[in-house]
Amino acid sequence: MIYRVLVHPQAAREAESAFQFIARGAPQNAENWYNRLIEKMNSLSEFPKRCPLARENQHMSKEIRQLLHGKYRILFNIDDARSLVRILHIRHGARQPLEKNEF
């Protein structure tokens, strides 16, 4: 099954913020990081369940999975009924897990 990948506006803002942070110290690295991020997110159109459950999953009613991208975590859920993957957040791995009210 092929899934459509939808990036939530919050995740897009977080990706932009991470890009800007990386670009302050290494502009070329930021561009490469962002391009690879897009590739990784698009890869979720096939076999998104290959990714493990995120640590936030234990507090959620819907399954939350993660795909690692360097030091960052791409947090997403899967809607099988609609063949849809929703990218919910882009988080640095050193940050505290999200709380239920942040989803």
Non-local (6+) Cβ contacts of 42 within 8 A are 5
pLDDT at 98 over 90: no
pLDDT at 102 over 70: no
Fold designation for 4-94: YaeB-like fold (3.30.2310)
Residue 16, pLDDT score: 97
Strand-pair category, 4-7 with 65-69: unpaired
Burial class (CB in 10 A: 0-12, 13-18, 19+), 96: exposed
Dump strand ranges (E) for 1-103.
4-7, 65-69, 72-79, 84-92
Residue range 14-34, pLDDT digits in tens:
999 999 999 999 998 999 999
Residue 101, pLDDT score: 64
**Among 19, 24, 31, 8, residue whose Cα is nearest residue 92:** 19
Write out the two tokens for 26: 């290494």
Residue range 51-92, pLDDT digits in tens:
999 998 988 888 999 999 999 999 999 999 999 999 999 999
